[in-house]
Amino acid sequence: MSGYKKMDFYIESFVNLLEEGLEIGKKLELKNNKAQVKHVVMAGLGGSGIGAEVVLNYLERSTPVPLVLSKDYFLPGFVNEETLVIVCSYSGNTEEALYVLQEAINKKATIVCITSGGKLQELARANDIDCILLPAGIPPRACIGCSFSQILFVLQQFALINDSFETEISNAVKLLSGELDTIKKDAAALAGKLQHKLPVIYSDQRIAAVATRWRQQFNENSKVLGWERPFPEMNHNELVGWRDKAEDLAVIFLHTGSELDRVSRRFEINRSVICNFTDNVYDIVAKGDSFLEKAIYLILLGDWTSWYLAELRGVDAVEVNVIDYLKNALNKG
């Protein structure tokens, strides 16, 4: 990690990476995009996999074929010659992703890899598999602006979606460029309220991936624990756990303004319940007109919040030494 810059440099580059992702995707020419696809599996973990979660939220109500996430060493049992498997590993050396790639090859699935290099690129080249190369030298979680759009371009080339996402991302670039100062100001203010607290993030299921991104960024950048849950699922279990005073918790409600009326009502009722047990309750409302604009806006706001919280805690937002320790220990057997 010593070769990396400070995390605020990469967060400042978020808009540029969105633009670079569009440029890479528009030039994409897949060799093996003629297969008849009946299901899609998107495989990836951590910073390499969160983009696939955003894509799933974005498309799960509209695609003509099922979209499934794989966050393990294995593919679902249904994978066969009619499955498109998109393997995402920024480093190209993610252990689980390499296992999944080999299984996809064995099952004769149509495969596309998204990476910056490593063993994934080598295996793709050796097996004549389409491979999209991302800009190298970035912490995986910081490349989301460039990486998630490649999944959309792949799906477009297989005629599973149209190109409307390009306009949404372009509009998000304009939105963020005009709102950057406000985003940073709001993020710094929220980070100040989260200091010495454990963050709990609640959202509509529609943007569950964004809530996950917030938690992941608090984990990796701010070096704090936390959790996230979506509505309405949270109301069928976790709400009962709000029973005792919990001033060490800070609850963040993520809103898009586009929630189903019944979900909006759940936000209101849950807020009234939770406020009985903690005064640290904050409502964050997305800006933008489309799903991707709002999701991208919230992602950048969460990224900046995690950075400011890291600064307040005096920790290095880039450093993930314990993950490196885990990988090294696994390599020793």
Please write the tens of the pLDDT for every residue from 181-197.
999 999 999 999 999 99
Are both 280 and 149 inside the same structural domain? no
The count of domains in the chain is: 2
29 is catalytic: no
> Do the beta carbons of residue 17 and residue 300 sit within 8 Å?
no
Are both 250 and 150 inside the same structural domain? no
* Domain-embedded: residue 324: no
Are both 138 and 230 inside the same structural domain? no
Are both 69 and 111 inside the same structural domain? yes
Catalytic annotation, pick one of 53, 220, 228, 259? 220
CA dihedral of 61, 64, 65, 71, whole degrees rounded to 10: -30
Catalytic annotation, pick one of 174, 185, 196, 327? 327
* Domain-embedded: residue 61: yes
Q: Which of 162, 190, 215 is the last residue of a domain?
A: 162
Are both 91 and 128 inside the same structural domain? yes
39 is catalytic: no
Find the DSSP H helices in the chain: 7-12, 14-26, 46-59, 95-106, 118-126, 144-157, 164-194, 208-217, 261-274, 291-313, 321-331
Q: Rounded distance, CA 152 to CA 107, Å?
A: 23
Are both 55 and 144 inside the same structural domain? yes
The predicted model scores a pTM of: 0.96
Are both 210 and 121 inside the same structural domain? no
> Do the beta carbons of residue 54 and residue 178 sit within 8 Å?
no
Query: What confidence category does residue 247 fall into, taking pLDDT thresholds of 50, 70 and 90?
Result: very high
Backbone angles phi, psi at 130, to 5 degrees: -60, 135
* Helix H or strand E encompassing 228: strand 227-231
Residue position matching structure tokens 């005073």: 245
* Domain-embedded: residue 167: no
* Domain-embedded: residue 175: no
* Domain-embedded: residue 328: no
Are both 157 and 193 inside the same structural domain? no
Are both 133 and 268 inside the same structural domain? no
Q: Which of 110, 129, 162 is the last residue of a domain?
A: 162
Lowest mean pLDDT among 251-260, 271-280, 317-326: 317-326
Query: What confidence category does residue 221 fall into, taking pLDDT thresholds of 50, 70 and 90?
Result: very high
* Domain-embedded: residue 171: no
- What DSSP character marks residue 142? G
Query: What confidence category does residue 4 fall into, taking pLDDT thresholds of 50, 70 and 90?
Result: confident
> Do the beta carbons of residue 107 and residue 83 sit within 8 Å?
yes
Q: Rounded distance, CA 173 to CA 192, Å?
A: 27
238 is catalytic: no
CATH of the domain at 256: 3.40.50.10490
Are both 154 and 185 inside the same structural domain? no
- What DSSP character marks residue 219? I
Please write the tens of the pLDDT for every residue from 264-306.
999 999 999 999 999 999 999 999 999 999 999 999 999 999 9
Are both 14 and 157 inside the same structural domain? yes
* Domain-embedded: residue 170: no
User: Which residue, 209, 180, 192, is CA-closest to 59?
Assistant: 209
Structural domain of residue 241, as residue ranges? 180-313
Query: What confidence category does residue 219 fall into, taking pLDDT thresholds of 50, 70 and 90?
Result: very high
Residue position matching structure tokens 């149209």: 162
Catalytic annotation, pick one of 27, 31, 34, 236? 236
